[in-house]
Structure 1
Amino acid sequence: MSTISLRHARVRYGPLEALHGVTVAAPGPALTVVLGRNGSGRTTVLRALAGTVPLSGGAVVWDGTDVTRVPAHERARRGLCLVPERQAVFGSLTVRENLELAASSYDSALDAYPGLEPLLARRAGTLSGGEQRMLALSRALLARARVVLVDEPAQGLSPTVAARTYQLLSELDACVVVAEQRLPPVLRARAALVYELRRGGVVFSGETGEWERRAARRAGSSPSG
């Protein structure tokens, strides 16, 4: 079992502060969802956990150890896998070569995403956005990581493939953290931990059922047109 968390984390991009003392705790094996509109800080949460952006305050704690100063490549070596929203595959390599970088045997990836099999000889950079997403997720599934961070996993995928993707992520024996603009419909019936961010701060933390009830109350109290 692995857990990872931000504790009172602050991140700055030049003069702008993107995270204002954010605390997010993601237990594992389990799925944690970080929600927020563009500019809310949800992607920065993943980058801070992965070490691809430095903290200006606070800490990253992984399995009880402060890893704030541990570089991103070392976190990856220890079992952390980040799937960013963009540039998540090696475009100059074929689909097969991308998969082989993750594992010598990639049959399970093709079982998860059968649509990749006829594309094995294609260069990843020539794939559609949805196909590249499936390839990036396949590499994450093959990595057998202890912590898996995915920015908008269902982007460009059909509803059926998106539902399958969330099923696969939920079944991983890992601490899984995903960032989404909205709570995916497939997760509404699943037990998952939800954090909602707004303008770089946490405005809600709780389970999916609590978030749904809160969203319903907000919708019911909204003035009608």
Structure 2
Amino acid sequence: MSAAGISLRHARVRYGPLEALHGVTLHAPAPGVTVLLGRNGSGRTTALRALAGTLPLSHGAVVWDGADVTRLRAYERARRGLCLVPDRRAVFASLTVRENLELAASGRPFSPALDAYPRLDALLPRRAGTLSGGEQRMLALSRALLARARVVLVDEPAQGMSPTVAARTYELLRGLDACVVVAEQRLPPGLCAAPNLVYELRRGAVVFSGEATERVTATGTGTGTGRSAASGPSGPARPT
């Protein structure tokens, strides 16, 4: 594995008695876009949270640019340049849009966020909690863009967005000079091209890894032309 980027190595995560990740190994290179693909219950959101440090590993390691950061807490990873955009509660609801952007910009101009999502300009005085779901996603992604993070982890970035804004969002993510990891239920058209990487998870285990173009031509089981792995143990659906 290349040292640049972030990895899970033989990662296991438990929710009480329930194991949600079964020894998952994956690597997201930097710079570049990696997609964690899977249905609800597959473990994709759990993998994101494990990378961010908001969920502890019961076994295995998180390695960032060749250094083991497993024991670093989430806020310490954030200070080092990791930004997590969860699928909900990703903005400060009681603050205005302007205040959210100012916090993310840390004294720098927040005009790049308005360039990315012009719709936000008219919403600057509004409290973030009053925005629609798609508008909140725009604000959350804008905050991530302004943070100039080295690693950006995003859970379903285009949720609630129109197709045009979603396409713009994937274009923005592809253009970042960062390690970008996106969790999705289905592979978005905007991320179907090489050299984007895809890991498909099912019931807490990796069942496919390869370039996005390989995943597009693979069979419906996700074990086609890419580098495949046996699926995880059968049983009830795991947390996402």
Do the two structures share a fold, i.e. TM-score over 0.5? yes
- Tell me, yes or no, if the aligned pair for 1:33 and 1:194 is still in contact at 8 Å: yes
Aligned identity (percent) is 78
Aligned length: 218
Distance 1:140 1:83 in 2: 7
Out of 189, 194, 199, the residue aligned to residue 185 of structure 1 is 189
Q: Counterpart in 1 of 2:151?
A: 147
Any stretches of 5+ residues in structure 1 without a counterpart?
219-225
Q: Deviations over 1:68-119 (max 9, x none)?
A: 0000000000000000000000000000000000113110000000000000
Give the letter for the 2:41 counterpart. Answer: G
Give the letter for the 1:30 counterpart. Answer: G
Give the letter for the 1:162 counterpart. Answer: A
Q: Counterpart in 2 of 1:121?
A: 125
Q: How well do the aligned residues superpose, as a CA RMSD in angstroms?
A: 1.3
- Tell me, yes or no, if the aligned pair for 2:96 and 2:126 is still in contact at 8 Å: yes
Give the letter for the 1:193 counterpart. Answer: L
Out of 131, 136, 147, the residue aligned to residue 135 of structure 2 is 131
Distance 2:147 2:42 in 1: 29
How far residue 191 of structure 1 moved from its aligned partner, in angstroms, is: 2.6
Q: Counterpart in 1 of 2:14?
A: 12
Give the letter for the 1:134 counterpart. Answer: M
Q: Point out 4+ residue stretches in structure 1 off by more than 6 angstroms.
A: none
How far residue 213 of structure 1 moved from its aligned partner, in angstroms, is: 1.2
Give the letter for the 2:208 counterpart. Answer: F
Out of 97, 103, 111, the residue aligned to residue 101 of structure 1 is 103
- Structure number having the greater helix percentage: 1
Distance 1:4 1:146 in 2: 10
- Tell me, yes or no, if the aligned pair for 2:4 and 2:66 is still in contact at 8 Å: no
Instruction: For 1:76-95, list aligned pairs within 5 A.
Output: 76-95=78-97
- Partner SS, residue 54 of structure 2: coil
- Partner SS, residue 99 of structure 2: helix
Q: Does 1:175 align with 2:215?
A: no
Q: Counterpart in 2 of 1:67?
A: 69
Give the letter for the 2:78 counterpart. Answer: A
Taking structure 1 as the reference length, the TM-score comes to 0.94
